[in-house]
């Protein structure tokens, strides 16, 4: 009897969400509830090289955060920069040759980007000084560095360090960096300290927000208009408390002196606040700004006044058998005339480590909307979308752990078309989750990083390595 009841609840849940999707998105919603791959490539891309990046700590399915790595292609698609968990920055040609490698010391790498002219690699780290470095593409030599410790502070005893956690550039070569320090106090409450900096290509600091105090909210992401006239960020405070910076999205002028507008987003049950950890994005012309909340709602805003153009719920929380489950809203990205959003794993709202009755049907999925809010297509992957990187009409996605199915066969680097979400190719890992993805601007090259994983029985699968792919000529 219990089995029939459970089956009935599951079918009712899936049916309800299917009807909900049809109601919200219209009949153009193409839901796919399974996309497990066989582990072989289609042949559209071929492997240029594969190399082990070193030995790192191995995590399991019970770990919320996971080993990462940072990979970025240069604007001219000639180089691939890699920042590893071992503290090294490496530069490869897209033919697979190592140009240089540099050990950055005791800090933990937290951000990596190319300068807009492709002549330097910008590196952010979490350390006692919270540095941002500029390294020469030619030989890896240090061109300049700036610290964030004077503003954010440091507590060596408690190991709460400042760090540069996001770096962006505009078309003129100006550099925008988010600095963050997070403190977990003994009584359980959280404290945040943050700044946003603007640097010239030569490393001169020409802007800071706020000017004379720190952000008291969690900020770990920023987007910048190509013209450099706007910058936007979102907040992601974990606990319900009173903050000075209590809005969810802020849009600043390009000089980081003025808040052009800010936006408070209404809370939905069963949440007590709105968190937007890996948002926002701005269209190249600066007209629109996207955002996605962890509760599964995605948004498009007009960047001039901050007016909400539309919102969609792509992974609405559902209560099943007395348990609220949700698929986290993760990334938002603008690609041409389309807004792309991703969802993550299914979690028990009460405690993410507790089991859930079923997986959320819209978990671990990619959604593509046009700028009028029409759902063009969506694609459900078998595991967590750890990172999404977009080229011209292609997106590369790092697919990692599914904490519910615990199926390692879905791990790999996937390449899909936008807006069709057709699978062009994929490279299965040796077992571990794919934790980072990159694709060149012309779509010719793609890269991914695999991390090792400890299974529930103690077995370790996969290794920490880089894979570089190139598109085969027809």
Q: What is the pLDDT of residues 420-449, one digit of tens each?
A: 999 999 999 999 999 999 999 999 999 999
> Which pLDDT belongs to residue 66?
73
Q: What is the pLDDT of residues 43-79, one digit of tens each?
A: 899 999 999 999 999 999 887 777 789 999 999 999 9
CA atoms 466, 80, 168, 122: torsion sign: positive
The beta-strand segments (E) located in 200-287 are 205-209, 223-224, 230-234, 249-253, 259-263, 281-282
> Which pLDDT belongs to residue 241?
74
2-43+98-395 CATH choice from 2.130.10.10, 3.30.200.20, 3.40.50.620, 1.10.3720.10: 2.130.10.10
> Which pLDDT belongs to residue 355?
76
Question: 335 pairs with which residues across the strands?
Answer: 338
> Which pLDDT belongs to residue 106?
81
Domain residue limits, the chain: 2-43+98-395
Mean pLDDT over all residues of the chain?
90
Q: Which residues contact 355 (CB under 8 A, 6 or more apart)?
A: 348
Mean pLDDT of the region 231-239: 90
Nearest Cα to Cα of residue 427 among 362, 471, 460: 471
> Which pLDDT belongs to residue 474?
61
Q: What is the pLDDT of residues 109-149, one digit of tens each?
A: 999 999 999 999 999 999 999 999 999 999 999 999 999 99
Mean pLDDT of the region 302-328: 92
The total of other beta-carbon atoms located within 10 Å of residue 218's CB is: 21
pTM: 0.90
Q: What is the pLDDT of residues 331-384, one digit of tens each?
A: 999 998 999 999 999 988 777 677 788 889 999 999 999 999 999 999 999 999
């Amino acid at each position: 009897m219990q089995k029939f009841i459970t089956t009935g609840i599951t079918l009712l849940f899936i049916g309800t969400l299917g009807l909900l999707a049809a109601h919200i998105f219209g009949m153009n919603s193409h839901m796919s509830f399974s996309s497990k791959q066989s582990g072989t490539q289609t042949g559209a891309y071929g492997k240029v090289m594969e190399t082990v990046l070193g030995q790192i700590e191995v995590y399991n399915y019970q770990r919320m955060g996971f080993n990462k790595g940072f990979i970025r292609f240069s604007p001219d698609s000639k180089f691939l920069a890699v920042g590893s968990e071992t503290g090294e920055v490496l530069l490869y040609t897209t033919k697979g040759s190592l140009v240089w490698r540099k050990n950055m010391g005791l800090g933990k790498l937290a951000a990596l980007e190319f300068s807009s002219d492709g002549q330097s690699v910008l590196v952010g780290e979490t350390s006692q000084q919270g540095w941002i470095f500029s390294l020469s593409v030619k030989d890896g030599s240090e061109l300049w560095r700036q610290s964030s410790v004077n503003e954010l502070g440091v507590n060596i005893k408690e190991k709460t360090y400042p760090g540069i956690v996001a770096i962006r550039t505009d078309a003129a070569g100006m550099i925008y960096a988010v600095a963050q320090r997070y403190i977990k106090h003994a009584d359980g409450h959280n404290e945040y300290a943050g700044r946003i900096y603007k640097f010239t290509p030569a490393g001169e600091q020409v802007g800071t927000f706020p000017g004379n105090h720190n952000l008291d909210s969690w900020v770990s992401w920023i987007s910048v208009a190509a013209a450099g006239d706007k910058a936007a960020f979102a907040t992601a405070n974990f606990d319900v408390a009173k903050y000075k910076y209590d809005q969810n999205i802020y849009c600043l002028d390009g000089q980081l002196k003025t808040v052009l507008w800010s936006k408070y987003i209404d809370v939905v049950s069963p949440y007590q606040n709105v968190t937007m950890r890996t948002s926002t994005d701005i269209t190249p012309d600066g007209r629109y700004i996207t955002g996605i909340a962890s509760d599964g709602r995605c948004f498009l805003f007009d960047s001039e006044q901050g007016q909400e153009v539309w919102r969609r719920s792509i992974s609405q929380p559902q209560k099943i058998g007395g348990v609220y489950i949700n698929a986290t809203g993760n990334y938002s990205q603008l690609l041409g005339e389309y807004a792309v959003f991703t969802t993550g794993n299914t979690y028990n709202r009460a405690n993410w480590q507790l089991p859930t009755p079923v997986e959320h049907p819209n978990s671990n999925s990619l959604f593509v909307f046009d700028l009028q809010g029409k759902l063009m297509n969506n694609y459900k992957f078998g595991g967590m979308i750890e990172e999404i990187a977009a080229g011209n009409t292609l997106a590369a996605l790092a697919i990692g752990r599914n904490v519910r199915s615990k199926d390692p066969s879905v791990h790999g680097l996937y390449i899909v078309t936008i807006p069709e979400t057709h699978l062009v190719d994929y490279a299965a890992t040796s077992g571990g989750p794919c934790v980072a993805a990159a694709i060149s601007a012309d779509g010719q090259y793609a890269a991914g990083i695999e991390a090792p994983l400890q299974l529930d029985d103690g077995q370790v699968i996969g290794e920490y390595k880089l894979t570089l792919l190139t598109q085969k000529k027809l």
